[in-house]
Structure 1
């Protein structure tokens, strides 16, 4: 039986050994939409007399996509007069921390620009309390809040809840998402310093019910269905193969704010901005230029595998060798399906950017 206690496995963990960093161009492009909000969040924020600042990177994965926002935060707070800046990266305990440490220390784009910047890590879910009350000045999170604290149930007909025909199951996933969003806000409301802020970038579902990812996801779903039909996955394992997520609608993102959110300690959060946007397929320009369908399919398959493989493996009651074989076959079949018709598979990602601030 596969176990979520095995290193590198579990719902929400990214593929290790730096694989996620090498295959997360989509998430990196998405994060860029939030960089301007970092400067807005810092603008006018009062600092404590000791001029020490705490910045959190929530859901850091392997760190490459965190460098630009953390550098923006460090630069902004330095300009505001901050002296010591603690940058605290958080993710699940089974995260690939070794790659994160190497990225922070050695990447040429690191935010470690002087000796007054101090990196730390916390191996815990951001749906839990992470920081001392009223000490957090800025939190950043990108491509992370759609992940659920845990999958509420198996899905018998699709790995992605919002493509399932099971209305009861969809409601369970939607309900878990709403509860998780409230938990996130409750903990951050306690942790944020007065005038502290959260900047987030995440996926979204538009008014027509589209996430923009469904065409790509259907290629993977067909491959999973094929593995079940061949007998490589039992009915039980097939149903357990889920992407434990919910892509919130604009109204679901806004729902806790009526018009503000009051946390358990009495702190009040204001939703300063919430902006829907669309991001094109980052791999499409290269395909348009060279026409190489196999290269395009490899890029999209690497993207999918980087964030889904650990969740899939942890759900299967298979030996490690059988897991390796099924993973290889499933993603090879996915790549073949994408390469057959790249235009039909190409996603047009729906995103949302947001800025929260503690106002009381």
Structure 2
């Protein structure tokens, strides 16, 4: 097997039942409502329209609550200005579901007048808007996904935080390049005086961890490794495929988010750093679903639903489908995988709890 190979499907496509199981994403956005409103109050009117753009919007309610605060502030400040919302995501996003929510009773069209809704289809690692066209840009729980799916020799782990040696170095370099590319593109698209607000899962220094940092969701990804290894032992998953499988994501520390900006002359000239920080989630930071822990069945259902919503497409494309060469179908392997995952959370509960730290990056375009 080659050292690594690139997959054609993006790792976030075909997420399953995302809206119903996106409470963690929605909590990240809701916790920043006041900050977004404050940024919107600082943005000057730089043209006839005021444009809000949400990168990696997804198909669910989170895309509505991400843009509503800025829209409400802009409407109050600029009574006659047309407002534009551009939802940006990949072709595999469930656009019908999103626009059903946008124009539904809880969508922003129901309470804010003179709003035009647009979509920009593609990867946010490419151009998504015209030069100097965006007043306020948001990106929630999305920038941790890397630009492409990568296969690395990673026996013993399915995620970045436990990688060692060359595999870790290669993944770290890809994450750094992607972050710098993301920022350079947004620098072109933002108007002078506009803001970029990024919030996603982060990591904090922790000397007890293998690579010196505790990453959000470490329990979840280690639970996925336990399940995958059990299926490999039972001959249901190809062990060689598992050894080369890793989720294509990276949850940065504050230093990993800051240093590429401070070390690049173009980015330093493009942006004023307002905030770069990693903080514990405001609610249940050590176990996001702790409120359900007294009922093991509900607790396991919550974890299984949440994980399946964001991970199913990646697991199927890179792990289960390549292993489905015998009598077991891809769907059958997926059903067995989630059955075992459910049993793991039902019996071992908080051993694999979802710890959550928020990385927040606020940049002002110079």
Provide the TM-score with structure 2 as the length reference: 0.88
Q: Distance in 1 between matches of 2:219 and 2:357?
A: 13
Q: 1:335 to 1:49 in 2, by over 3 A?
A: closer
Question: Is 1:138 aligned with 2:136?
Answer: yes
Q: Is the alpha carbon distance of 1:331 and 1:42 closer, same or farther for their aligned partners in structure 2, counting shifts above 3 Å?
A: same
1:329 counterpart = 2:336: yes
The equivalent of 1:285 in structure 2 is 291
Aligned-residue offset at 1:20: 0.7
Match among 306, 309, 313 for residue 306 of structure 1: 309
Structure 1, residues 188-223: CA drift from partner, whole Å, max 9, x if none? Answer: 111100101111111111011111422232222111
3-state SS of paired residue (1:79) = helix
Choose the corresponding residue for 2:103, options 105, 110, 113. 105
Partner of 1:231: 235
Counterpart of 1:268 in structure 2 is 270
Report deviation, 1:156. Answer: 2.8
Tell me if the contact between 1:152 and 1:172 (Cα under 8 Å) persists in the aligned partners. no
Contact 2:276 2:360 in 1 (8 A): yes
Q: Indicate how the Cα distance of structure 1 residues 78 and 241 shifts in structure 2: closer, same or farther if over 3 A, else same.
A: same
Cα pair 1:203 1:351 within 8 Å, conserved: yes
Q: Distance in 1 between matches of 2:263 and 2:10?
A: 36
Q: Which runs of 4+ in 1 moved over 3 A?
A: 109-112, 318-321
For each residue in 1:138-177, what CA deviation from the matched residue of structure 2 results, as whole angstroms up to 9, or x when unmatched? 111111111100133333321112123x321111111111
Using the TM superposition, give the Cα deviation of residue 310 of structure 1 relative to its aligned residue in structure 2, in angstroms: 0.5
CA contact (8 A) 1:57 1:66 kept: yes
> Which structure would you say has the larger RCO, counting Cα contacts within 8 Å and 6 or more residues apart?
1
Aligned to 2:11: 11
Give the alignment of 1:21-40 within 5 angstroms.
Answer: 21-40=19-38
Matched residue, 1:211? 215
Q: Any idea what the Cα deviations from partners look like across 1:253-273, whole Å, max 9, x if unmatched?
A: 10123288625xx96111111
Stretches of structure 1 lacking an aligned partner (at least 5 in a row)? none
Give 1:84 deviation, angstroms. Answer: 0.8
Provide the secondary structure at the position in 2 that maps to 1:201: strand
The answer as to 2:65 corresponding to 1:59 is no
Q: Secondary structure at the match of 1:325?
A: helix
How far did 1:106 drift? 1.5
User: What value does the CA root-mean-square deviation take over the aligned residues?
Assistant: 2.2
Name the CA distance, whole Å, in 2 between partners of 1:49 and 1:176. 37
8 Å CA contact 1:63, 1:104 repeated in 2: no
Could you say if the C-alpha distance between residues 47 and 335 of structure 1 is closer, same or farther in structure 2, counting changes exceeding 3 Å?
A: same
1:51-92 deviation digits (Å, cap 9, x = unpaired): x11111111111311212211010011122161111111111
